[in-house]
Structure 1
């Protein structure tokens, strides 16, 4: 490896790690500040479990999330190496494929990631793998927004694997990847909010029940062997892995409107 290539790799690692860390603190920090602090009293009836976790738990979530950011930065370097060697399908000009394909690629990444997540998540819950890979994330049985990326390093590599997979199999623009990762971070933080924001009837309405909710993922953290999906509920429906009390629990939590009169 020549010096210029090494310095470029180092720069990409430092920049990538910084960007994903700032993104994590921005999304988790806003969710924590708005819903756990500023609006907590007004929406306390939407807290999914009996009480929110103590700050000591949150500090552990942040610690593991920061180690995940380093792993994500290293994966970014790996993608740079693969691109330099001509192995990826990343392209520079949106005009190469046009705006319709650009928008399609974002949707495709979301759908592919949802399937990838369900499959790898189920595998990580296998008893021969769980304690070595996924147990760290499940230490948060009642998670906070800061738990969104609280992974063991092995799991962090698996979670980051979606981006190398995508850039190897389909043409994708860097901006499309960036938008996809913003979407992923937003939904991941929402899933770990432990406060349900969606309205009553959301999980029974055929127009919306294909989306997952905060209640859905919170029940996964509480009961472990159910509710494996990420963005969409169709994989849990297909493989019958939704908790059998999911809809009932959601309706209990959302019985009252999100914001009660002062």
Structure 2
């Protein structure tokens, strides 16, 4: 049992690291194509971001490996593979539920880490990226990485989700995490500044967090920022 979990954890760590490398690498390449030379002077910073991110990938892989082993070997989780197990409308509902609950967890833990008593110990590593790059999305101190690594593995024990929908959740998490740190906006300006777009986190919104720190804490949605008065709008630099 222990050996099986260990192998699963190491495999998941490798998958998380590869996912990070491919996604961040692609968007770093896209950044260079769009804004040549933008990060030419940031080689040391980017190297530091990659090292912290690979350590974070190792940490993310542990709970993910436990979940993968428990699902395949013991049926511990609420992950299912038969689409007929739930009504057709449940798949998009479960997707939104996972994203909302993940966003809620992220908002409150992220906001807590900006308390001066926790910032230096947990979150300063992430904010050492000035400006953040596509490689910074997983640049976390191990203690911060642990807070991010446990939330979705915990949810799969509570809320049923199809394996494909879970994959979509992880895809959204990865792409949003990377693109929100690039320093330029992939979404059309018309959408970002529209009524619908004003409810979503984009690079323009998250960039302001990295400029001012004590605002714009969300991951996917601006709901909690608006409810709690921490939404300071979009950056004027993107």
TM-score (norm 2): 0.89
Q: 1:11: how far off?
A: 2.6
Q: 1:159: how far off?
A: 0.6
Question: 2: distance between equivalents of 1:201 and 1:8?
Answer: 50
Q: Secondary structure at the match of 1:168?
A: coil
Pair 1:161-2:150 in alignment: yes
Pair 1:122-2:117 in alignment: no
Question: 1: distance between equivalents of 2:30 and 2:190?
Answer: 24
Question: 2: distance between equivalents of 1:26 and 1:120?
Answer: 27
Pair 1:217-2:212 in alignment: no
Q: Which runs of 5+ in 1 are unaligned?
A: 254-262
Q: Quick check: 1:72–1:156 contact (8 Å CA) kept in 2?
A: yes
Q: 1:203: how far off?
A: 4.6
What is the root-mean-square deviation of aligned Cα atoms in Å?
2.3
Q: 1:112: how far off?
A: 1.2
User: Relative to structure 1, is the Cα distance of residues 92 and 8 closer, same or farther in structure 2, using a 3 angstrom cutoff?
Assistant: farther
Q: Which of 35, 38, 55 is matched with 2:33 structurally?
A: 38
For each residue in 1:168-193, what CA deviation from the matched residue of structure 2 results, as whole angstroms up to 9, or x when unmatched? Answer: 22112222221110111000101001
For each residue in 1:1-31, what CA deviation from the matched residue of structure 2 results, as whole angstroms up to 9, or x when unmatched? Answer: xxxx233213312221121111111111110
Number of residue pairs the alignment of both structures matches: 237
For each residue in 1:122-175, what CA deviation from the matched residue of structure 2 results, as whole angstroms up to 9, or x when unmatched? Answer: 111112222111111111131001000001111111011221221122112222
Question: 1: distance between equivalents of 2:164 and 2:202?
Answer: 27
For each residue in 1:199-229, what CA deviation from the matched residue of structure 2 results, as whole angstroms up to 9, or x when unmatched? Answer: 3454542122111221221221222111111
1:195 aligned partner: 184
For each residue in 1:64-85, what CA deviation from the matched residue of structure 2 results, as whole angstroms up to 9, or x when unmatched? Answer: 0000110011112332466566
Q: Which of 16, 22, 25 is matched with 2:21 structurally?
A: 25
Q: Quick check: 1:53–1:142 contact (8 Å CA) kept in 2?
A: no
Question: 2: distance between equivalents of 1:130 and 1:17?
Answer: 26
Alignment of 1:52-63 (within 5 A): 54-63=42-51
Q: Which runs of 5+ in 2 are unaligned?
A: none
TM-score (norm 1): 0.82
Q: Secondary structure at the match of 1:125?
A: coil
The runs of at least 4 aligned residues of structure 1 exceeding 6 Å deviation read none
1:185 aligned partner: 174
User: Relative to structure 1, is the Cα distance of residues 89 and 204 closer, same or farther in structure 2, using a 3 angstrom cutoff?
Assistant: same
1:242 aligned partner: 231
